[in-house]
């Protein structure tokens, strides 16, 4: 499943989304990328800044932002043009951090 398929995927029963398994290696996982975006948006960030700091293409960033706003991890303020991490997004970061600790840095 590629980024486009993930971003366009439909929710599964039980509220989750279909995601491919994460394998250790050079490439970042979708969860790792989402965490990077949420960290950048914690104080409010514009799309371009997040795109460069997360090392994503414009197309990839659009997909992640669309998905993360739709699922409530990010909010968008039209007046300021800033994306902000929501309480759900902060909960994701907290859970992601706990999983990283449990698995160790090599396994994510």
Structural domains of the chain, with CATH: 3-9+27-107 (1.10.10.10)
Average pLDDT, the chain: 81
pTM above 0.75, yes or no: no
What is the tens place of the pLDDT at every residue in 18-69? 333 334 445 788 999 999 999 999 999 999 999 998 899 999 999 999 999 9
User: What is the distance in angstroms between the CA of the first residue and the CA of the last residue of the chain?
Assistant: 18
Tokens 């250790």 belong to residue = 24
Q: How far is CA 21 from CA 6, 43, 69, 89, in A?
A: 12, 31, 23, 21
57: Cβ–Cβ under 8 A, 6 or more apart, which residues? Answer: 51
User: What's the average model confidence in pLDDT over 80-90?
Assistant: 97
**What are φ and ψ of residue 82, in 5° steps?**
-100, 145
Q: Residue 32: phi, psi to the nearest 5?
A: -65, -40
CA distances (Å), 45 to each of 9, 60, 93, in order?
A: 26, 17, 16
> Which two structure tokens, joined as six digits, stand for 12?
């599964």
pLDDT > 80? residue 87: yes
Interval 69-96 mean pLDDT: 97
What pLDDT shows up at residue 107?
A: 61
């Amino acid at each position: 499943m590629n980024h486009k398929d993930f971003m366009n995927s439909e929710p599964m029963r039980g509220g989750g989304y279909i995601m491919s398994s994460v394998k250790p290696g050079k490439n970042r996982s979708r969860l790792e990328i989402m965490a990077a975006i949420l960290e950048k948006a914690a104080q409010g960030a514009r799309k371009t800044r997040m795109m460069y700091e997360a090392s994503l293409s414009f197309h990839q960033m659009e997909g992640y932002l669309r998905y993360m706003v739709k699922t409530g991890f990010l909010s968008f303020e039209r007046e300021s043009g800033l994306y902000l991490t929501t309480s759900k997004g902060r909960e994701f970061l907290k859970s992601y951090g706990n999983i990283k600790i449990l698995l160790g840095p090599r396994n994510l």
